[in-house]
C-alpha cells in the first residue's frame, strides 16, 4: 500500500512495559504538543508507524486526516511529490498530519523535493512526521542523504529499540496478540507453555514485533490446544527452525539469513521488492542478490 488516510483514528495500542518503549511513548506525548517535524528511527517491524499514529492521536490534530506516504514505493512517492496537485493535497490535509515512511529509500533528488514539500506543508498547517529504518546520521556521514532533509528531519527524533533489546515487552506483546487473535480466529488459546515461553524470550526476533505477530498467527492457526507449545512454533516459524531446535546458540550467518528472509517477506521478491529490501538492510542490490543465492531464499 502506497498511501492511506485515516480521518477518525482510534487510540493506537502501545503494548510493553520496558524502559525503552515507555521513554519513546513519553517523547511522543511531549512532541504531540508541538508542531515541529519528528523523525522516527528503528529497524523494520519495531512499530514506527504505530508510534507516529499515536503522536497524531495525542495531538490537537486528532479528528483531522492522518496520511501515510510510503517513500519506498517509487511510483507512489513520485506521484505524490508531483507539483501538479500540491495545492489540492495540502488543502485536504490542512490541520492534519502527514507521515513519510522510509525517507532514506528516496534518491537524493527526491529527498530534496521532499524537503521542499515538507516546508510547503508546514506553511499550510500540516504536521510532518518522517520515518527511517536506516540510521540517517550514518547516511549523512556517508553523504547518502540530502543535507537539507537531514537537518530538517532531525529537529526531534524518536528511536524505537529492536525487540531483542526490549525483553520485558515480549510476553506483554504475546498476551496482547493472543487475545486479539482469539477473537479473530475464534480460538481459545490461553498462552504459551513454559518451554515455548523460554524460546520466545531467547529468540532474537530479527523481524521485531511484526515477526512475533506473524509467528503467533501461524501457530494459532495450527493448534487446537489451549496452550501454544514449542512444537507449534517449530511447525509455524520456518525462519526460526534452527533456533527452535537449539535455542541457546545461533550462528551469525543464520542470523543474517533470518534478517534477509524477514526483509524479503515484508517487501516481496519482485525487483521493486528486492530494491526496497536492500535499502532497508543497508546493502546494495548486488549484495542482496549474492546473499539470496547463498542462502537459497527464493526456493
Model pLDDT for residues 33-91, shown as the tens digit of each residue: 999 999 999 998 999 999 999 999 999 999 999 999 988 777 667 777 776 667 778 88
Q: What are phi and psi of 41, to 5 degrees?
A: -120, 145
- Residue bearing cell 526456493: 299
**Angle subtended by helix axes 167-185 and 194-202, to nearest 10:** 120
pLDDT (average), residues 7-28? 88
- The pTM assigned to this predicted structure is 0.81
Regarding beta strands 227-228 and 3-6, do their DSSP bridges make them parallel or antiparallel, or are they unpaired? unpaired
The three-class DSSP label of residue 190 is coil
Hey, how many other C-beta atoms are within 10 angstroms of the C-beta on 282?
15
The answer to whether 3-161 and 164-245 have equal CATH topology is no
Q: What distance in Å separates the CA atoms of residue 250 and residue 139, rounded to the nearest whole number?
A: 29
Fold for the domain defined by 164-245 = Helicase, Ruva Protein; domain 3 (1.10.8)
Q: What distance in Å separates the CA atoms of residue 32 and residue 135, rounded to the nearest whole number?
A: 23
Q: Of residues 88 and 14, which shows the higher confidence score?
A: 14
- So what's the pLDDT on residue 252? 73
Domain ranges of the chain: 3-161, 164-245, 252-295
CATH superfamily of 3-161: P-loop containing nucleotide triphosphate hydrolases (3.40.50.300)
Amino acid at each position: 500500500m502506497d498511501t492511506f488516510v485515516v480521518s477518525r483514528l482510534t487510540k493506537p495500542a502501545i503494548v510493553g512495559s520496558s524502559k525503552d518503549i515507555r521513554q519513546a511513548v513519553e517523547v511522543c506525548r511531549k512532541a504531540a504538543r508541538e508542531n515541529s517535524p519528528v523523525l522516527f528511527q528503528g529497524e523494520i517491524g519495531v512499530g514506527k508507524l504505530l508510534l507516529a499514529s499515536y503522536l497524531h492521536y495525542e495531538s490537537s490534530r486528532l479528528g483531522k486526516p492522518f496520511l501515510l506516504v510510503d517513500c519506498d514505493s517509487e511510483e507512489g512517492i513520485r506521484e505524490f511529490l508531483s507539483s501538479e496537485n500540491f495545492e489540492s493535497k495540502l488543502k485536504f490535509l490542512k490541520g492534519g498530519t502527514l507521515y513519510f515512511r522510509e525517507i532514506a529509500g528516496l534518491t537524493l533528488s527526491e529527498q530534496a523535493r521532499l524537503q521542499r514539500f515538507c516546508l510547503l506543508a508546514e506553511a499550510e498547517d500540516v504536521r510532518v512526521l518522517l520515518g527511517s529504518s536506516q540510521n540517517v546520521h550514518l547516511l549523512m556521514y556517508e553523504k547518502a542523504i540530502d543535507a537539507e532533509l537531514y537537518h530538517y528531519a532531525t529537529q526531534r527524533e524518536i528511536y524505537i529499540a529492536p525487540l531483542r533489546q526490549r525483553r520485558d515487552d515480549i510476553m506483554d506483546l504475546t498476551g496482547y496478540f493472543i487475545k486479539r487473535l482469539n477473537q479473530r480466529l475464534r480460538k481459545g488459546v490461553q498462552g504459551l507453555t513454559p518451554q515455548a515461553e523460554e524460546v520466545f524470550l531467547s529468540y532474537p526476533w530479527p523481524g521485531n514485533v511484526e515477526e512475533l505477530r506473524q509467528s503467533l498467527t501461524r501457530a494459532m492457526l495450527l493448534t487446537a490446544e489451549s496452550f501454544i507449545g514449542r512444537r507449534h512454533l517449530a511447525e509455524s516459524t520456518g525462519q526460526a527452525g534452527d533456533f527452535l531446535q537449539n535455542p541457546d546458540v545461533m550462528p551469525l550467518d543464520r542470523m543474517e539469513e533470518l534478517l534477509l528472509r524477514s526483509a524479503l517477506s515484508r517487501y516481496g521478491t519482485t525487483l521493486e521488492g528486492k530494491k526496497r529490501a536492500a535499502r532497508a538492510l543497508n546493502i546494495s542490490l548486488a549484495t542482496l542478490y549474492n546473499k539470496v543465492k547463498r542462502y537459497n531464499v527464493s526456493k
